[in-house]
Amino acid sequence: MLKSWALPKGPSTDPARKRLAVPVEDHDLGYALFEGVIPEGRYGAGAVLVWDMGTYRLPGGQGSLDEALGRGLARVWIDGRKIRGGYSLVRAGKIGWLLIKDDDDEADPGRDPVKDEPASVLSGLTIEQIAAGGGRALE
């Protein structure tokens, strides 16, 4: 299963910018390679692209990701094609969760990764191109 989060404004590479992170239904591994349009009336309806791809690891002492999230703080190191470095998922009371970039060598306050690199890492298409029929339809 893919642990899934919605980031309405995308991830930040600036440690001073906290981003809302909303846990959503975990997805089957097949979604890791899905780009296309989910029909209206289905969960997650709309255009979908694979914006980034990579791996993550947990720095020591946290236990599993589920255990860390259960405590309200999960620190992860991400090795993606677009996003790299340390991030923390922090439970923030009634608003939900925040994703915060660590102040490490990968931090870049001047970069907006979503605006700077909007295309899919799989197809090179933008979300607008996929919505206009550039991807496949989920049946």
Decide if 98 contacts 79 (C-beta within 8 A). no
Model confidence, pTM:
0.85
91 against 46, higher pLDDT:
91
- pLDDT tens per residue, range 34-82: 888 888 898 878 898 899 999 999 988 888 999 999 999 999 999 999 9
Q: Sign (positive/negative) of CA torsion 80, 82, 10, 31?
A: negative
- pLDDT tens per residue, range 111-126: 999 999 999 999 999 9
Q: Which residues of 102-133 are buried (b: 16+ CB within 10 A; e: fewer)?
A: beeebbbeeebbeeeeeebeeeebebebbbee
3-state secondary structure at position 70: helix
Q: How confident is the model at residue 14 (pLDDT cuts 50, 70, 90)?
A: very high
| pLDDT score recorded for residue 42 | 86
Whole-number average pLDDT of the chain: 90
| pLDDT score recorded for residue 44 | 79
Those residues whose C-beta lies under 8 Å from the C-beta of residue 33, and which sit 6 or more positions away, are 50, 122
Q: Which of 1, 4, 16, 30 is nearest to 139 (CA)?
A: 30
Amino acid at 54: G
